[in-house]
Structure formats: structure tokens, C-alpha cells
Amino acid sequence: MAKQVKIGFIGCGGIANYHFGHYDKDKNGNPKIPNAKIVAVCDKIEERANAASQRFGAKPYLSYKDMLETEKLDAVYVCVEPCAHDGMELMAIQKGCNLFVEKPVALSLDYAKKVEAALAKKKLINAAGFQDRYVDFIPTMKSWVAHSKVGFFNAYWVGGMPGVWWWRRRDTSGGQAVEQTIHIFDMCRHLFGEVVEVQAFGRRGVITDVENYDTEDASAVNLKFANGIIGTVFSGCFVRGGGGKCGIDVFTMNGRLEYVERVSMHIAEPNRTIDMKTGNDYGQEEDDAFIDAIIHKDQSLILSPYSEAVKNLQVVLAANESMDKGGKVIKL
């Protein structure tokens, strides 16, 4: 591997800018990730490609095909809207690029499985954008759950509607469970293991004043895990002016755990409480891990590999299917 990892970006919108912040210079003027450089950036929207190009001295492109044909890249970030995964990952893999793909990694499970197989075949380093796994207290939380007798859990992603054009339609975003609450489904899988059954109800009609909006305002997704744990994951995008909730409440024989997404963890046992707040820059650590894994050729440094993203996608697409079939139980 080259001393400096050469990176290209496909998509320079909201989440790309989050990653860009981790490749900027620190307050002393040194690169935050010294052994990596963003050398090429691509967006269909010219101003976005140009802005990113100026920020890093990278070459701008309007077509990812041109970028992948022209540049010799070690790694590619895919940061496009959920409906835009049109073969870009497969082309990057074919060119031998290690891959970071933002969640949801696609809207088609078949496509995601093709990418997963191609990554495995070429033994490329891969990561997906589930940054919550890098929050510093997660191992403590996971270990407490593993040593507890869990009865059930309730989980939530309830808030307002993101402003990007593609969010409000199922065919472009996948809907809230697929696009947003997938972070919570991921953490549930991280804590409780594999999902074996999914059953869901969704409702529409709470929001009536948003044009071109066709997805659920609210949904409740029941999950059954291989180890017998059951729980419900709620999604809602109808809340305005605060009052939402994102996280997981776990009820066990020896106490209750409350995870506030990316913020804190509270455990109440009969004779003690444990409180932890996020103490690290988990997004920075996610990108640091990707580069370290490439340099050391060590996939085990990645807490959120592409294969986990495929499993998350399978669960949320099953939730959509169940909603569309009036609450039918879907076995995975």
C-alpha cells in the first residue's frame, strides 16, 4: 500500500461534508489523518464538486465513471442518495478500490449482495456508515446486555423530516425505517444478535402539508431475534419543534438500560446506577479506522463492515414489505 492513501469521493452533499471534516487540517494546521489525501471528488452538481475540489486541492469530476477511469485511487467513499447506487461500487471494486459506503448501502438487497460478494472476492477493505458503533461507551453497553437476561426492548427514531429532496418518497429514500431508523436497527443487531422475524405496521396521513410526500409518517416494527429477544422499533417524522426521541430502552431481569442515541447510556440496577456520556469523536474514529484498516490490510479494525450493512438492509426492507402487506410476518 502507498504511504499515503489516495481517496476519491462519489457524492459531495451533506454526509460527504461530514467525512470531509475528518480529512481537514487540525487547529495546528496538520492534516487530521496524515496518511490519507482526498485527490478526486465527484458530484453531478458542479458547484458541489468544485467546492470539495477547492477544499482539498482535489480534481473535480461530474461523472464517477470518468473519475474511476482516470484516477488511480486506493479508496472510494460512496455518499449518494439511497436510490443512486447504480453500479458505482462494482466499478470501484473492479478498479481495486477499498470502499466506504454510506447507509443505507442500496435500496435493492440483490445489488447489495452483489457488492458484498465482489468485495469478499477481491479481499478489499470495506466499511459502511454506521458511526454509532464507534461511540466509546458501546462496548460497556454491549457487555452489560450480554450479561443480562433481556425480556424485551423498545426503540425509537422519532423527530422531524430531513430537508433533502429525496427523503420524502419511498422510491428515492426507502422511507424512514430504511433511511434513518436503520441506525437504531443496526444498534439492536449489535446488541441482540440476528433478527429472524419481522412484522410491521405503518400509517400515513399525519403530515398533510408537504408536497410530493408519499411515505409513512409513523411505523412500529416488531422484531424477533434468534436468541428469543423481542422488541419494537418506532419511527416517526411528524414531530415539529422538539419532543422527539432516538434511542433504545432495554428491560432485563437485573435492571433497565436507556441508550440515548450517540449521547448517553443510563443503567438502573436495584442497588446502583451507571451513567456514561459520549466522550469521543466517534465520526473521526470511523474514518481513522477505515484508513488504518487499509494501511495495515486489517479488516478487523472496522466495526461496521459492508456485510453488516447488508444484514441491516435485509431487516428494514422486510419491515417495508410487512407494512405493505398489512402486517404480514416476514421470516428472514
Ligand X SMILES: NC(=O)c1ccc[n+]([C@@H]2O[C@H](COP(=O)([O-])OP(=O)(O)OC[C@H]3O[C@@H](n4cnc5c(N)ncnc54)[C@H](O)[C@@H]3O)[C@@H](O)[C@H]2O)c1
Q: Which residue ranges make up the site for ligand X (CB under 6 A)?
A: 10-16, 42-45, 48, 64, 79-82, 84, 102-104, 129, 131, 164, 179
**Minimal distance in Å, beta carbon 304 to ligand X?**
10
**Minimal distance in Å, beta carbon 51 to ligand X?**
10
**Minimal distance in Å, beta carbon 97 to ligand X?**
15
Query: Rounded to an integer, what distance in angstroms lies between the CA atom of residue 43 and that of residue 56?
Result: 15
Residue with smaller CB distance to ligand X, 133 or 150: 133
On whether the CB atoms of residues 154 and 245 are closer than 8 A, the answer is no
DSSP annotation of 103 = S
**Those residues with Cβ within 8 angstroms of residue 67's Cβ, 6 or more apart along the chain or in another chain:** 8, 10, 40, 42, 59, 61, 73
Phi-psi region of 327 (alpha: psi -120 to 50; beta: other; left: phi over 0): left
**Minimal distance in Å, beta carbon 165 to ligand X?**
7
On whether the CB atoms of residues 12 and 41 are closer than 8 A, the answer is yes
Residue with smaller CB distance to ligand X, 6 or 103: 103
**Minimal distance in Å, beta carbon 40 to ligand X?**
12
Residue with smaller CB distance to ligand X, 43 or 225: 43
Residue with smaller CB distance to ligand X, 80 or 294: 80
3 state SS of 40: strand
Reading the block at residue 3, the C-alpha cell is 504511504
Residue with smaller CB distance to ligand X, 186 or 292: 186
Residue type, 316: V
**Minimal distance in Å, beta carbon 226 to ligand X?**
26
Residue with smaller CB distance to ligand X, 13 or 193: 13
Residue with smaller CB distance to ligand X, 150 or 184: 184
Reading the block at residue 13, the C-alpha cell is 452533499
Residue with smaller CB distance to ligand X, 88 or 150: 88
**Those residues with Cβ within 8 angstroms of residue 41's Cβ, 6 or more apart along the chain or in another chain:** 8, 9, 12, 49, 52, 53, 56, 58, 59, 60, 61
Query: Would you call 154 exposed, middle or buried from its count of C-beta atoms within 10 A (0-12, 13-18, 19+)?
Result: middle
**Minimal distance in Å, beta carbon 64 to ligand X?**
5
Reading the block at residue 5, the C-alpha cell is 492513501
**Helices 182-192 & 138-146 angle (0-180, nearest 10):** 50
Question: Closest residue (Cβ) to ligand X?
Answer: 13
**Minimal distance in Å, beta carbon 179 to ligand X?**
5
Residue with smaller CB distance to ligand X, 38 or 267: 38
**Minimal distance in Å, beta carbon 103 to ligand X?**
6
Residue type, 116: E
CA distances, 98 to each of 1, 148, 309 (Å): 11, 38, 16
